[in-house]
Chain A
Amino acid sequence: MSKKREIEVRGADVEKAIEAGLQKLGVNRSEVIIDVIDEGSRGLLGIGSREAVVRLVTLTVEPTPAPKVQPKPAVQPVVAKRETAVPTPKPTPKPAPTSSNGSDVEATEADAEEKKMAEEVIATLLNKLGVDAQIDTSTSEPDDLTGRKVNVIDIEGEDLGVLIGPRGETLNAMQYLTRLMVGNQLQRRASFVVDVEGYRKRRQQALARLAERMAKKVVARRRPVSLEPMPPHERRIIHMTLRDNEEVYTQSSGEGNRRKVRILPK
């Protein structure tokens, strides 16, 4: 069994940091678990920019015969759809670069193998929890930055508040665990999203509205505003919502689960 190795690398952006790390380890993308510690930020004209930091952990791959993964069709670059038509040409998000040996698990299309296994794991978990619910899997919109689509597994039923928990804590614990469980079986990182009754979607919309509201406040007062601490994916929603805002920019500060977003006037 190969030994588990773990490194932290920095780069101008997340992709570059990952690339650098893979090269350092001499492995390809399917052999590591990628953990984005800091997405970094471009800052304004290079001022206040922060390097992206990612952690790469090699998977301990047992010498089993290579799993027969059905060959994937050539990946078509997916151009991320934007809600509002912006005429200014933005650098279009590129799909994750294909690793040299052609085994590209980070394809732009949602992963069918992962979907099947994730549904199975979640259904079993719900059953053991004694929760009566149905599972409905869909595919997300392509990510704004990476163009990647992921499986979204929505749990539907009555009285599922217990699965969400205070501020989505239970839901996040469930997503974290089931991703690890599926990742362990597939021997690669799982990236599906677990949702309950569309909670994440509603939360996302609420956060986007919050971001817009706070941005207005920042502009009116000409003063930065700090939001309360949020988990990474929620901070990301704030950053993404205000990415193209002409009057403000955003930053994350603080460590661990005290990390929060600041909105500052440009």
Chain B
Amino acid sequence: MKDLVEYVVKSLVEAPDEVSVEAFEDADETVLEITVAGPDMGRIIGKSGRVINAIRTMAQVAAAKQGIRVAVELVETGDR
């Protein structure tokens, strides 16, 4: 699932080397925290969040297969 999100995000950004996805458990769900470079934030969010929501939808398919719940969060790297 983490692998899936990482693959999608890296294919969408200008700076794939700055992409990282971390998974941790929070209560009853798995949280996937995506980190991308500042200038790539817009690409991953998309118009009205369309891209990040599509990523969430795909992550949920993977999670459902494993019988778990997933939350996808987006974080920006760099200094600003």
Question: Interface on A for B, CB 8 Å cutoff?
Answer: 60, 121, 124-125, 128-131, 162-163, 165, 169-170, 173-174, 176-177, 180-181, 184-185, 256
Closest A residue by C-beta to B55: A177
Interface of A is mostly: helix
Partner of A129, one of B4, B11, B14, B55: B4
- Expressed in whole angstroms, the minimum distance between the Cβ of B6 and any Cβ of chain A is 9
Stretch binding the partner chain, chosen from B20-28, B61-69, B70-78: B61-69
| B interface residues, how many (CB within 8 angstroms) | 20
Contact (Cβ within 8 A) B7 A129:
no
- CA of A124 to CA of B6, assembled, Å: 12
Give Cα distance in the complex from A109 to B66, angstroms. Answer: 41
Decide yes or no: A169 and B58 within 8 Å by CB, A121-B11, A125-B7, A184-B12 being known contacts.
no
B50 near A184: Cβ-Cβ < 8 Å: no
Bound form: Cα–Cα A130–B54 in Å: 18
Q: Is the CB of B61 within 8 A of A181?
A: no
How many pairs, one residue from A and one from B, have CB atoms within 8 Å of each other in the complex?
56
Tell me whether B41 is interfacial, beta carbon within 8 Å.
no
Residue of A nearest to B3 (CB): A128
Please indicate the chain B residues that have their CB under 8 angstroms from the CB of A128 in the complex. Answer: 3-4, 7, 62
Q: Show the binding face of B for A, using Cβ within 8 Å.
A: 3-4, 7-8, 11-12, 14, 48, 50-51, 53-55, 57-58, 61-62, 64-66
Return chain A residues, CB-CB under 8 Å to B55. 177
Q: Which residues of A contact B50 (CB under 8 A)?
A: 176
| Chain A residue at minimum C-beta to C-beta distance from B11 | A181
Q: Which residue of A lies closest to B64 (CB)?
A: A162
19 CB-based A-B contacts, threshold 8 Å: A121-B11, A125-B7, A125-B58, A128-B4, A128-B7, A128-B62, A129-B58, A129-B65, A131-B61, A169-B57, A170-B57, A170-B61, A173-B57, A174-B54, A174-B58, A176-B51, A176-B54, A181-B8, A184-B11
* In contact, A129 and B12 (Cβ under 8 angstroms): no
Q: B57: nearest residue on chain A (CB-CB)? A: A173
Expressed in whole angstroms, the Cα–Cα distance for A148 and B7 within the complex equals 31
Q: How far is the CB of A50 from chain B (nearest CB, A)?
A: 21
Contact B51 A177 (CB under 8 A): yes
Q: A128-B7, A129-B62, A181-B8 are in contact. Are A60 and B14 (CB under 8 A)?
A: yes
User: Which residues from A are CB-within-8-Å of B61?
Assistant: 129, 131, 162-163, 165, 170
Q: By the criterion CB–CB under 8 Å, are A180 and B7 in contact?
A: no
The one of A121, A130, A177, A180 that contacts B65, using a Cβ cutoff of 8 Å: A130
B50 to chain A, nearest CB (A): 7
Nearest A residue to B60 via CB reads: A170
Contacts of A176 in B (CB 8 A): 50-51, 54
Complex: chain A residue closest to B54, CB-CB: A173
**Interface pair B54/A185, CB less than 8 Å apart:** no
